[in-house]
Amino acid sequence: MTTAIAASAREAGDPQLTPPRRGGRRRGWMPYVLLLPGLLWLTLFFIVPLVQLGSASLQSQWPGAPGYYYRDVNGANYLDALSAYGVHFLRSLAFAGMATVLCFAIAFPLAYAMAFKAGRWRNVMLILVVAPFFTSFILRTIAWRQILADEGPLARTLNALHLLPGGHITETWVAVVAGLTYNFLPFMVLPIYTSLERADPRLLEAGRDLYADRLTTLRTVTIPLAAPGILAGTLLTFIPAAGDYVNAELLGSDTSTKMVGNVINSQFFTVLGGYPTAAALSISLMVLILVLVLGYVRRFGTEEVL
């Protein structure tokens, strides 16, 4: 999306770069025909449900008949939902934020090594990054429960060393953030790897040749070159992580680590009369993420560099 906008802006700005327009009227309808299947799909499975969700979020409950609603414009649903579950929102953002930062900290050196240092091991490393996808997401998350369990090797060792206040890893926010980080790591690694791999190693040499030491070269050349990948990676990690409920469900506790996704899940499926609240939370989450992402892209979105 950002690429397309940037590209068209650049073309508009510089007439020399605009490709010659091809004979207009006869071909005019072709793009729309090609767009049709996609538009139909989007309408059916995105716009219609979204409108439905929006209208559900504004419904009112029949007095005295829990689980029955009538169409209404009841903005109070939002106020109620946000005041009751605001803390879950903040928690979701905090967990997703931490997971994104951790993913970046792990993924950047990994992607850098793969792009510049791995040599013939590059493809093996790529496969290893993607390999976990061959097992179900749920299974892998459950496997983390074994790894982090109180009787597991990690918790035992930490306990033996008295390094684990509280005595547990599971049922804490640490476990949830670790799960999120683990599950979304490939989505950070792959885009960063792609943009680093495209970067000409001579550019890094040029940086060092022009009086930048390794760290300065990293800051002024390597990271800017990887910016499109970093942007894509952080979005691909943060957005789904903020809406995730599986990690909190399987690795977290019943109270202190619930994320907004868990609340939506339980309001929809377990709480009688929770529909409007769940819908209001869903819409709020979407708007919130949209606003955050737009701000982020505005701030850091490079116009496509290559």
Partner 1 sequence: MATNTREAHGDLVLENVTKEFADFTAVDDLSLVVPRGSFFALLGPSGCGKTTTLRMVAGLEQPTHGKVLIGQTDITGTRPHERPVNTVFQSYALFPHLTIRENVAFGPKRRKAADAVRLADDALELVQLSHLAGRKPVQLSGGQQQRVALARAVVNQPEVLLLDEPLGALDLKLRRQMQVELKRIQSEVGLTFIHVTHDQEEAMTMADTVAVMNRGRIEQMGPPERLYDLPQTAFVANFVGQSNLGVGRIHGTDGDFIVAEVSDTKVRIPKQRSEIHDGEVMFGVRPEKVRIHESQPVATGNDVKATVIDVSFTGVATQYLVTVPSGASWTVYEQNLDVEPISLRPGDDVWLSWDPTHAFGVPVDEDGRKAALAEDGA
Q: Which residues sit at the interface with partner 1, rule CB under 8 A?
A: 14, 17, 200, 202-203, 205-213, 216, 220-221, 224-225, 227, 302, 305-306
The answer to whether 179 touches 145, Cβ cutoff 8 Å, is no
* Distance separating alpha carbons of residues 275 and 57, to the nearest angstrom: 7
The per-residue DSSP string of 28-80 comes to TTHHHHHHHHHHHHHIIIIIHHHHHHHHHHT-EEPTT-TT-EE----THHHHH
> Which amino acid, one-letter code, is at 288?
L
Q: Minimum distance from CB of 123 to partner 1 (Å)?
A: 22
* Distance separating alpha carbons of residues 208 and 215, to the nearest angstrom: 10
Complex with partner 1: residue 81 or 199, whichever CB lies closer: 199
Complex with partner 1: residue 6 or 286, whichever CB lies closer: 6
DSSP-derived letter for residue 133 is G
Complex with partner 1: residue 200 or 254, whichever CB lies closer: 200
Treating both helix axes as pointing N-terminal to C-terminal, what angle do 275-300 and 223-243 enclose, rounded to 10 degrees? Answer: 170
Q: Minimum distance from CB of 15 to partner 1 (Å)?
A: 12
* Distance separating alpha carbons of residues 192 and 99, to the nearest angstrom: 16
Complex with partner 1: residue 26 or 298, whichever CB lies closer: 298
Q: Minimum distance from CB of 254 to partner 1 (Å)?
A: 48
Complex with partner 1: residue 71 or 208, whichever CB lies closer: 208
> Which amino acid, one-letter code, is at 127?
I
Q: Minimum distance from CB of 219 to partner 1 (Å)?
A: 11
Q: Minimum distance from CB of 213 to partner 1 (Å)?
A: 5
Q: Minimum distance from CB of 227 to partner 1 (Å)?
A: 7
The answer to whether 111 touches 227, Cβ cutoff 8 Å, is no
Count how many residues are written for the chain: 306
Q: Minimum distance from CB of 212 to partner 1 (Å)?
A: 5
* Distance separating alpha carbons of residues 179 and 241, to the nearest angstrom: 10
